[in-house]
C-alpha cells in the first residue's frame, strides 16, 4: 500500500516479484480489495500470462477495457485499435489495474506503454517471477515478498489444516514433514 502512494496524484506502477507460490497474487488481491472502492474504474486480470499465451494480446486489451468501462463488447479487433481505445477512453479515468503473472513473453507495451494513457491517481500493480521484467517496464517501486521460515510455514499450514496455530501433538512430526517438502 505504501509503495502505491494512494493519496498522491501521480500515476504509480508497482511490481511484485518473487518465486512461484510465494504469495504475489495474494498480496495483489488484498491490495486490490482494499482500494478498489476508491477509484473510478478497476480491473484485476488474473493469470495474464496464460491469457496472453492462449488467447492473445487483443483479448487481454479487450478484457481490460471491458472491466474498466463495463462494456459488453469493446470491439477491439487488432492490437493497434486496442492501443487507441485504451489511450482515448482511459486517459481521463482514475483506474486501478492488476496484471497478474506477467512473464518476459507478455507484451505489456500495448496495454500500459505510457502513463498518460491513464488518468491522475491511477495505480497499476504487476506481478511477475522475473524482476528484470519490472526493470524493463520502469516501475516506480518493486516489492519482493520474503519466504516464510519453518515456524511461520508450520503456523500457516496448521491454520488451514487444523484451524489452530499449531497442530495437535500427534500430528506435529507429520505436519513438519509436509511443510518441509516445499
How does pLDDT run across 15-60, given as a tens digit for each residue?
Answer: 999 988 888 999 999 999 999 988 879 999 998 888 888 999 999 9
Q: At what angle do helices 172-180 and 150-162 cross, to 10 degrees?
A: 120
Q: What is the pLDDT averaged over residues 148-157?
A: 86
Q: What is the pLDDT of residues 61-73, one digit of tens each?
A: 999 999 999 888 8
pLDDT band at 182; cut points 50, 70, 90 = low
- CATH superfamily, domain 12-143, is P-loop containing nucleotide triphosphate hydrolases (3.40.50.300)
- Per-domain residue ranges for the chain? 12-143, 150-180
Nearest to 130 by CA among 20, 54, 26, 38: 20
User: Are the beta carbons of 126 and 137 closer than 8 angstroms?
Assistant: yes
pTM of the model: 0.83
Strand ordering across the sheet containing 95-102: 41-45, 95-102, 123-128, 12-17, 141-143
Q: What is the pLDDT of residues 92-113, one digit of tens each?
A: 999 999 999 987 767 788 888 8
Amino acid at each position: 500500500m505504501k509503495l502505491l502512494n494512494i493519496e498522491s496524484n501521480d500515476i504509480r506502477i508497482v511490481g511484485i516479484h518473487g518465486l512461484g507460490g510465494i504469495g504475489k497474487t495474494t498480496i495483489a488481491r488484498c491490495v486490490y480489495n482494499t482500494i478498489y472502492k476508491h477509484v473510478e474504474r478497476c480491473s484485476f486480470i488474473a493469470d495474464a500470462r496464460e491469457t496472453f499465451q492462449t488467447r492473445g494480446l487483443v483479448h487481454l486489451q479487450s478484457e481490460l477495457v471491458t472491466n474498466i468501462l463495463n462494456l459488453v463488447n469493446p470491439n477491439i479487433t487488432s492490437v493497434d485499435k486496442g492501443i487507441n481505445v485504451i489511450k482515448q477512453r482511459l486517459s481521463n479515468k482514475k483506474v486501478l489495474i492488476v496484471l497478474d503473472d506477467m512473464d518476459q513473453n507478455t507484451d505489456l507495451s500495448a496495454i500500459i506503454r505510457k502513463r498518460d494513457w491513464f488518468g491522475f491517481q491511477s495505480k497499476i500493480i504487476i506481478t511477475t517471477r522475473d524482476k528484470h521484467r519490472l526493470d524493463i517496464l520502469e516501475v516506480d517501486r518493486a516489492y519482493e515478498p520474503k519466504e516464510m521460515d519453518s515456524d511461520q510455514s508450520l503456523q500457516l499450514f496448521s491454520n488451514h489444516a487444523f484451524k489452530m496455530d499449531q497442530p495437535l501433538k500427534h500430528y506435529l512430526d507429520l505436519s513438519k514433514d509436509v511443510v518441509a517438502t516445499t
